[in-house]
Amino acid sequence: MAARRNPQLNAHGELIHLLSVEGLPREVLTRILDTAGTFLSVSEREVKKVPLLRGKSVFNLFFENSTRTRTTFEIAAKRLSADVFNLDISRSSTAKGESLLDTIANLSAMHADMFVVRHSESGAPHLIAQHCAPHVHVVNAGDGRHAHPTQGLLDMYTIRHYKRDFTRLSVTVVGDIVHSRVARSDIHALVTLGVPDIRAVGPKTLVPGDLAAMGVRVCHDMTEGIRDADVVIMLRLQNERMSGAMLPSASEYFKTYGLTPEKLALARPDAIVMHPGPINRGVEIDSAVADGAQSVILPQVGFGIAVRMAVMSMIAGNSA
């Protein structure tokens, strides 16, 4: 039996889909970050558009709502001159009982070139990538608890922008790690890019114990977890988790794991604070930190568009 190839790469090791950061070699990640650097300036030009995806049809398939992520993908595709179609799938054919692969087959018949997929089920983008025509490319815009690779990549771009060298950094990820596809993508990327000290901080109910196997230090104490960190990545506390027995209350959580100026003072003086958004002020992050000098939350948004342009143009230019 032939060795199973990573479905994201073609026989030449070039990126054809982006499904997960996991399993991508360091060279591919670095290439994406380098390419994103090229696109960053496009958004500042007189003409904020380049013709790389001219004549290509990009379908945003959001089976789970996310206006912000969908919009950044839409902006990225439009700056590459693609035609973008937003399908409100959650309210249309799926609600009428159509299967995922039938939806894809139908859209393929409309000559789609790329699918950007957000789905509540882990593995849905992977399934689509396996069943679509060879010229069609798939980008995972977040699937279940599995992965959110473009967020992971834009976080890496942000870290590299401010800190340059991954190989001497301490990076702390704080929050609901067990449910977070962002945390998962971030951790895989940090490991691949050679970050020597990765820490996961949160209550026992929200931090999986098996992270140690990936070389991640698990801390349930915020003071310990944040001390001397170069980068602090805060995760959004998903309100829906509050209803279960996982957390006592938002104010209790803020007291223990919320990022305040006092807690941030334990990190390195030049530490940066990141957050994938949307932020919950007073739940996982204090306003003084979110709006403070060390916050790079808004620059992350701009980097996110450049990273998505890089991913879309790279995969569109490579064939299966």
Give the interface with another protein as residue ranges (CB under 8 A).
14, 31, 34-35, 37-38, 40-42, 45-47, 49-52, 313-314, 317-318
Place of tokens 């839409």: 74
- C-alpha to C-alpha distances, 245 to 52, 201, 206, 208, 248, nearest whole angstrom: 49, 19, 11, 16, 7
CB of 317 to another protein, least distance (A): 3
Closer to another protein by Cβ: residue 51 or 134: 51
Name the helix (H) or strand (E) containing 114: strand 114-119
Q: Which of 34, 224 has the CB closer to another protein?
A: 34
Instruction: Classify burial at 31, counting beta carbons within 10 Å of its beta carbon; exposed 0-12, middle 13-18, buried 19 or more.
Output: middle
Nearer to another protein, 43 or 260 (CB): 43
Q: Which is nearer to another protein, 94 or 318 (CB)?
A: 318
Please say whether the beta carbons of 152 and 118 come within 8 A.
no
Please calculate the CA angle 56-59-61 and round it to the nearest 5 degrees: 165
Shortest gap between Cβ of 174 and another protein (angstroms)?
32
User: Which residue number, 11 or 47, has a Cβ lying nearer to another protein?
Assistant: 47
Decide whether 14 or 121 has the Cβ nearer to another protein. 14
Within 8 A by CB and 6+ apart from 44, the residues are: none
Smallest distance, Å, CB 304 to another protein?
Answer: 18
**Considering the complex, what minimum distance in angstroms separates the CB of residue 130 from another protein?**
22
Contact indicator for 180, 158 with CB cutoff of 8 Å: no
Which of these, 189, 180, 191, lies nearest to 214 by C-alpha position? Answer: 191
Give the residue with the Cβ less far from another protein, 63 or 73: 73
Q: Minimum CB separation from another protein for residue 49, in Å?
A: 8
Query: What's the sign of the alpha-carbon dihedral 153, 156, 157, 158?
Result: positive
Nearer to another protein, 41 or 167 (CB): 41
In the sheet where 83-87 sits, what is the strand order?
Answer: 83-87, 57-62, 114-119, 137-143
State the residue for tokens 């069609």: 136
For the record, the structure tokens of 221 come out as 């104490």
Q: What is the C-alpha to C-alpha distance for residues 106 and 270, in angstroms, rounded to an integer?
A: 51
Rounded-to-integer distance, Cα 125 and Cα 138, Å: 7
